[in-house]
Amino acid sequence: GQNIDQPTEMTATEGAIVQINCTYQTSGFNGLFWYQQHAGEAPTFLSYNVLDGLEEKGRFSSFLSRSKGYSYLLLKELQMKDSASYLCAVEGQGGYQKVTFGTGTKLQVIP
Amino acid sequence: NAGVTQTPKFRVLKTGQSMTLLCAQDMNHEYMYWYRQDPGMGLRLIHYSVGEGTTAKGEVPDGYNVSRLKKQNFLLGLESAAPSQTSVYFCASSTWTGGLGSNEQFFGPGTRLTVL
């Protein structure tokens, strides 16, 4: 099975940088997703890491260490609209795209 | 393209009533999923489908049934609703990229179900 751990809540200041960590223990691993979910809305895809290292996409970057079972999402130049929950999700192995989601980190951006 | 749509958006049921949630996608995706999301629990997989005519159980399948008669539609049924099924239900779809890229899931807007 999969066990995914991420902080429940974080607060950061507009314009700052914030790092949201995710650790996982899995019986099989293909890759790791990050999704953003605004309150009352559906999750939307942010990033996908398969190999170790940092993937940068605009203000958002995602890092993966497969050997350590660790990932983080880095948000730069925070904006008020970045206030949302960020879901870490692990894609396992096994013939279809089985994804296990963490409980999410609720980020509040304050002025 | 509408992406993934869900019907209805809101519903209130009494204990013991039945209902069907409809999910439709216009992206020709092979895989479709039903999740429920509860506070502090995250998204949990109820049932999924890897193609037309095939369905399988996820993490929390009890009390639910599904059908995938057409590739673009995935139905979730509650035969006898219980208060424990009060939740937000999300449908999602994805396709297989053959390892060439991300197989991200595209989510519908959700159905907010209350069972009294």
pLDDT digits (tens, 9 = 90+) for B7-64: 999 999 999 999 999 999 999 999 999 999 998 888 999 999 999 999 999 999 999 9
A70 pLDDT more than 60:
yes
Point out the residue among A41, A99, A103 whose CB comes nearest to the CB of B105. A99
pLDDT class of A94 with cuts at 50, 70, 90: low
Select from B22, B94, B102 the least CA-distant residue to B51: B94
State the best of B96, B104, B107, B111 to mutate against chain A, taking most chain A CBs within 10 Å: B104
For residue B103, what pLDDT is reported?
81
Residue contacts between A and B (CB atoms, under 8 Å):
50
For residue A97, what pLDDT is reported?
64
A55 pLDDT more than 80:
yes
CA distance A100 to chain B (A): 8
B101: which chain A residues are within 8 Å (Cβ-Cβ)?
Answer: 48
The DSSP-derived string for B26-90 is SS--SEEEEEEEETTTEEEEEEEEEETTEEEE-SS-TT-EEE-SSTTEEEEEESS--GGG-EEEE
A45: which chain B residues are within 8 Å (Cβ-Cβ)?
Answer: 102, 104-106
B interface toward A at CB cutoff 8 Å? 31, 35, 40-45, 48, 50, 90, 94, 96, 101-110
Helical (H) or strand (E) element with A84: strand A84-91
Question: B10-13 and B111-115: which strand pairing?
Answer: parallel
For residue B98, what pLDDT is reported?
65
- Mean pLDDT along residues A3-16: 96
A96 contacts B48? CB cut-off 8 A: yes
Residue holding tokens 């096994």? A94
CA distance B89 to chain A (A): 10
A102 contacts B50? CB cut-off 8 A: no
A48 contacts B104? CB cut-off 8 A: yes
For residue B100, what pLDDT is reported?
61
A2 pLDDT more than 80:
no
Point out the residue among B31, B42, B50 whose CB comes nearest to the CB of A101. B42
A103: which chain B residues are within 8 Å (Cβ-Cβ)?
Answer: 40-42
A42 pLDDT more than 90:
yes
| Residue environment code for B96-111, b if the CB has 16+ CB neighbours within 10 A, otherwise e | eeeeeeebbbbbbebb
For residue B101, what pLDDT is reported?
64
A95 pLDDT more than 60:
no
Selected residue with higher pLDDT from A1 and B4: B4
B48: which chain A residues are within 8 Å (Cβ-Cβ)?
Answer: 96, 98
A91: which chain B residues are within 8 Å (Cβ-Cβ)?
Answer: 103
pLDDT tens for residues B66-111? 999 999 999 999 999 999 999 999 999 998 776 666 688 999 999 9
C-alpha separations of B109 from A69, A103, B92 in Å:
31, 19, 9
Residue B12 to residue B113: CA distance in whole angstroms: 6
